[in-house]
Structure 1
Amino acid sequence: MPAAERPDPAELPLPPLVDHHCHGVVRSELDSAAFEAFLTESDAPAALGTTFFDSQLGFAVRRWCPPLLGLEPHCPPAHYLARRRELGVREVTRRLLTASGIGAFLVDTGLPGDLTTPRELATASGGTAHEIVRLEHLAERTADTALTADDFLTGLADGVREAARTAAGFKSVAAYRYGLDFAPEPPAPAAVHTAAERWLAHRSDDPGAAARVTDPVLLRHLLWSAAHTGLPLQLHTGFGDPDLRLDRCDPLALTDFIRAVRPTGCTLILLHGYPYHRGAGYLAAVFPHVYADVGLALAHTGARAGAILAEMLELAPFGKVLFSTDAYGLPELYVVGARLFQEALAALVNGWVAEGAWSRRDAHRVAALLAADNARRVYGLGVASGRDT
């Protein structure tokens, strides 16, 4: 589409975005290799003679971020990284976060590394931040100090209850640790106790290899423990790094669990979804307690982000789709996630208005739902800025 005919995102009035699933950014300076590592889901360096900048995400970073640092769009990566080092990581983080248009961050704090806290994100951006507690990380921290299975299960129950007092929601990466094709019903207490004993013994014998919780019985126990708190529960679905088996991350595999958990009143949010995002949209359409996003997929599909968002909006009710970036490590990923979402949404709804399929008023209303209002409703943030963590 010629530039003169391309819909201007500014023509679509949006409230400050609510990024309902994201992570901290690194506090330290990054060399080129470390920076590029955040542009891919691969756990290996780029193939010989190639670069991760040569990807949809890499091109999107070069499109949107250089002007925020005083450079021309699409400048060479070496020029961009040199300018980044010249300004310093704190100034780059401040500039990029404040330019992202994100007013509230819901931060999954379960990833390792020297990452900014939710409060630091809020300070750098001028917005607000709220914590999302990763269940597996909570279990692993509890296991570090537990001497027996009883100690662990009591500590875990206390930890979930305490987290529910202050967090905006919970998150599970069961998709990584086992897959989504787990048994849907809550595990029996005796089975949970046996699984906890087995895991703790394994951790004692081989701490490095057994540190992570992967037992499906314990993962189900975590999910059901969170479901009974009344807080929203985020579930990773679809693509990610090679630590998962993508064929076992189809959100449709959760159908029986979705049915089973419904009586608890727990709201489930299916994250990312790609390439199964249409299935996530279907689940959001037929189950009242299921919501979905395409967060990570938009950044990684770059110039094709509009097609992915359009596929989600084919079937998912407009009050059931949320915005997220899944930004991690680089403040650039907040900018890219937000700009790609805004541009894709503007192009879609303005096109539908031009065709007569939507009214302008409905387009503006639905855009606000996706950008912020749905997340504020689901997480209980209210219509104004929520509490800082």
Structure 2
Amino acid sequence: MMADPVDELLAGLPLVDHHCHGVVTADLDRTAFESLLTEGEAWPDSGISLFDTPVGAAVRRHCAPVLGLPRHAPAGDYLARRAELGAREVNRRFLAAAGAAVLCVDTGFDSGRLTSPAELAEPAGAAAYEVVRLESVAEAVAAGGVAAGEYGAAVRAAAEDAVRRPGVVAVKSVAAYRTGFALDPARPSAAEVARAAAAWLARPGARLADPVLVRHLLWTAVELGLPLQLHTGFGDADLRLHHADPLLLTDWLRLTAGTVPVMLLHCWPYQRQAAYLAAVFEQVYLDVGLALHHVGPARAGAVLAEALEITPFRKLLYSSDAYGLAEFHHLGAVAFRRGLAKLLADRVAADELSRADAERIARWTGRDNALRVYGLTDPAASRGSGGLTDSGGPAATAAPAAPVPPMEND
């Protein structure tokens, strides 16, 4: 039986992962490993293993062979082999197997425990770029000491400094976690920002969760001029999922039309809502990263099919949103390649797409759409140029063997 050309194209396509995180660098015991398999909490005394989930089964099926194990290897065998190889070799194998040529890395959460962009990209053979998390910028300004009346300007200046760092290609907000999207869409006045800042700064160490200050960050992102990544949908246990529906951004998107690209991350279970926004607002793009490795390759095509029901083909991007475990870089890529290949092959077989159309959509989604919207060099033309090729990202330290809290890592 001849291989499908679209499947072959996707299998060999150097991907642009437009949103991901670093990986831990220390060996992990079972509790620590399972804590990173979930967006919630590990339950070590419950009798419920996180290997007995769709993502756990997908790891045993698709990641075990990369470690030299048979498909569906038992969890104990999998973890023993991982320990035998050591974290450095495990990370090298999975990052190389993912086949990403470009990694855009969110450095705003847990950067001390994870690899820097350059450290992530080196074993992958990829170019690394940085995504600046705006809440982290604002919280650093607050921690450094600032008067309430100067807060707005100080955050703007700090954000401008952050995006001038070499290799920065985007900014990101986790407004979905902090307040949800049911916000007044209007730009807050300087007086509103100062009043809200005074209340927040009076509580040293509190995370930024004031609606006015979150709005201020969103409008600061517009002023910075880079693509803005927004977490939407599926995430950690401190998220109120119904507040992360991207449709709640509709009025803000109307006000910001013609400014910066807005990249809706993850989206599940709101991929259809995100598709609507991408269909009607020029500046909106989306991915279904994170969801793909959690549903596994068996269901990735179904999620992608819903995202592509009405999304313009130049608006869907690939991301893994891999965090902590190098397995997720590989598993996200496998799920994306296989899911999209099957979806496109089915449409070609039904004569809904030509094969040439299917091949264009595959290239656009896996690589070219991200290159275009972020203004990146085609890795096929100049592999590795323009990214962070040294220690330009935040310094990384060894990750602890204890469970890593999964709060806001998306």
Q: TM-score, normalised by structure 2?
A: 0.89
What is the aligned length? 379
Deviations along 1:131-169, one digit per CA (max 9) or x if unpaired, are 000110111111111142245333312111112223110
Aligned partner of 2:96 among 98, 107, 117: 98
Aligned residues of 1:56 and 1:300 also touching (Cα < 8 A)? yes
Gaps of 5+ in 1: none
Give the partner amino acid of 1:312. Answer: A
1:272 is matched with which residue? 266
After TM superposition, where is structure 1 displaced by more than 4 Å over at least 4 residues in a row? 4-10
**Contact 2:6/2:362 (8 A) holds in 1:** no
Preserved contact between residue 9 and residue 342 of structure 1 (Cα < 8 Å): no
Q: How is 1:1-389 mapped onto 2 (pairs within 5 angstroms)?
A: 10-13=7-10, 14-45=12-43, 48-112=46-110, 113-166=112-165, 167-203=168-204, 207=205, 210=206, 212-263=207-258, 265-302=259-296, 303-384=298-379, 385=383, 386-389=385-388
Contact preservation (8 Å) 1:8, 1:343: no
Measured in 1, the distance between the counterparts of 2:6 and 2:355 equals 14
How far apart are the structure 2 equivalents of 1:111 and 1:304?
Answer: 29
For structure 2, the residue ranges without an aligned partner over 5 or more in a row are 389-410
- Give the superposed CA RMSD: 1.6
Task: Indicate the structure with greater helix content.
Answer: 1
**Greater CA drift, 146-155 or 242-251:** 146-155
Return the offset for 1:226.
1.0
Secondary structure at the residue paired with 1:269? strand
* CA 6–251 in structure 1, closer or farther in 2 if over 3 Å, else same: farther
Paired with 1:309 and 1:261, the residues of 2 have a C-alpha distance of 27
Kindly provide the CA deviation profile for residues 69-123 of structure 1, in whole angstroms up to 9, marking residues without a partner as x. Answer: 1111110111111111111101110111011111110000111151000010111
Query: 2:162 is paired with a residue of what secondary structure?
Result: helix
Q: Percent identity?
A: 51
Q: Distance in 2 between matches of 1:328 and 1:267?
A: 24
Shift of 1:260: 0.8
Tell me the distance in 1 between the aligned counterparts of 2:227 and 2:329.
23
Instruction: Measure the CA separation in 1 of the matches of 2:186 and 2:45.
Output: 43
CA contact (8 A) 1:128 1:388 kept: yes
3-state SS, counterpart of residue 228 of structure 1: helix
Describe the SS at the equivalent of 1:171.
Answer: strand
| C-alpha displacement of 1:7 | 6.0
Q: Could you say which structure has the greater relative contact order, defined with CA pairs below 8 angstroms and 6 or more residues apart?
A: 2
Partner amino acid for 1:56? P
Shift of 1:5: 10
- TM-score norm. by structure 1 comes to 0.94
Return the alpha-carbon distance in structure 2 between the equivalents of residues 120 and 151 of structure 1. Answer: 36
Q: Measure the CA separation in 1 of the matches of 2:334 and 2:32.
A: 23
Deviations 1:309-345 (A, max 9, x none): 0000101001000000100000000000000000001
Q: Is the 8 A contact 2:42 2:50 kept in 1?
A: no
For residues 131 and 120 of structure 1, the distance between their equivalents in structure 2, rounded to whole angstroms, comes to: 12
